[in-house]
Structure 1
Amino acid sequence: MNAVEEHRLTSPQQVSCFVVTVSDTRTVDTDESGPLMRTMLEQSGYHVVDYRIVQDDYELIRELIHEASSNPEVHALLLSGGTGISSRDCTYEAVSSLLDKELTGFGEIFRLLSYEEIGPAAILSRAIGGTVGRTAVFSMPGSRNAVRLAMDKILLPELRHVVRELNKQP
C-alpha cells in the first residue's frame, strides 16, 4: 500500500461541507448546481451542514468564507459559480484574497479534465482551491457539467484526504 492509499484509509469518514451557489440570477427554485453538489456529497457519505445562494459580490462572498471558516463544524466550503471572466464574476478574487494556502493542482486538474470535454474554452475557467485556516475551500464553475466533473473526478475521491491533512497535529 502506498502513502496516498494509507492516508485515504486513515482519513475521517465524517466530513461536513457548506455548499454555496454564487449567482445574481439563481434562486432556490432555479439553482441546479447547489442541489447537485448536495446530492453528490450526501450519496458519497459526506454531511452537508448548510446550503446558500449568494450574489456575485466580492464582499458578500468574503463574508461567507469568513463565516464558514470560523465555524468548527465546517470542514469544507464548496462554491459554484462566478468563476468566469465577465465583469460581474468575482468569486476567484474573493476566494484567492483569503487563502492561506492555495492548492494550485485543483484548478490545473479541473481545467485539464474540462479541456478533454470542451476543448480550449476550458481556459475561461478560474476554478481555485485552497485552505482558510483548517477549512478546505474549493470554487468551481456553476454549470451542472462543471460541478459534476469537479465532484466526480477530484473532490469526492480526495476531500476526506484533504481534511485529514488539514487536521494533522504537528
Structure 2
Amino acid sequence: MLKEHRKKSPEIVHCAVMTISDTRNKNTDKSGKLLHELLERDNHKVIHYEVVPDEKNSINYMIKRFLENEKIEVIIINGGTGIAKRDVTIEAVKPLLDKEIPGFGELFRYLSYELEIGSASFLSRAIAGVANQKAIFSIPGSSGAVKLAMDKLILPELGHMVMEINKDL
C-alpha cells in the first residue's frame, strides 16, 4: 500500500539550503555543497542557497524569506544545532513551525548513535517540522551528519512529505 501511495509523490522537489556559520562562506561551505549535490543527485532542485551568521535574527529573517517564496517546498538548514551559547538555530526555527515532527530528531539521533558518533549523538538538537505548507529540516553542520540525515531520512521521504503537506489543499 505504501508503494502505491508514494507513486503519487512528486519526483522533483524545490528546495532552499541554508548553512548557519560564523566562519564559512559559499566557497568554504562543504556541508552546504554536499546538501546541494545530494539533492541534485536525486533530481531535486536547489533554487536558493545562503550562508547565514549564527545569529537568531539573521536566521529567522532568512527562514521567513524562504517561507514567503511560493517556489520553495522544502527548507534544509545545517549548522548551529549544538549546545554552545552561539548555537541558536533551533531557537530560531522552532517558534516558526506550525507542526513539529519529533520522529525526525529522534531517528537522526538514533542513527547517529548507531552509525556515526556514539553517545555524543544526544548533544544533537536536529529538528523537523512544517511551516506555511513547507517542510523544514534543521540538521548539524558536519558533513557526516548531513550525509546521514539526507541518505537515511530526508531523501527517502522528501517527495512523500511534500505530498502529505499539500494533500488537503
Fold match by TM threshold 0.5: yes
Structure 2 residue aligned with 1:26: 24
TM-score using structure 2 length = 0.97
Structure 2 residue aligned with 1:75: 73
RMSD: 0.9
Within 5 Å, give how 1:3-82 maps onto structure 2: 4-82=2-80
> Secondary structure at the residue paired with 1:139?
strand
Q: CA deviation at 1:49?
A: 0.3
> Secondary structure at the residue paired with 1:86?
coil
Q: Deviations over 1:1-44 (max 9, x none)?
A: x2x32221110122100001000100112110000000000010
Q: Percent identity?
A: 51
Q: Distance in 2 between matches of 1:24 and 1:7?
A: 42
How many residue pairs align between the two structures?
Answer: 168
Within 5 Å, give how 1:1-170 maps onto structure 2: 2=1, 4-116=2-114, 117-169=116-168
Deviation >3 Å, runs of 4+: none
Residue ranges of structure 1 left out of the alignment (5+ in a row): none
Q: CA deviation at 1:169?
A: 2.3
Residue identity opposite 1:20 in structure 2: M
> Secondary structure at the residue paired with 1:27?
coil
Residue identity opposite 1:7 in structure 2: H
Residue ranges of structure 2 left out of the alignment (5+ in a row): none
Q: Deviations over 1:33-71 (max 9, x none)?
A: 000000000010101101110001111111111111111
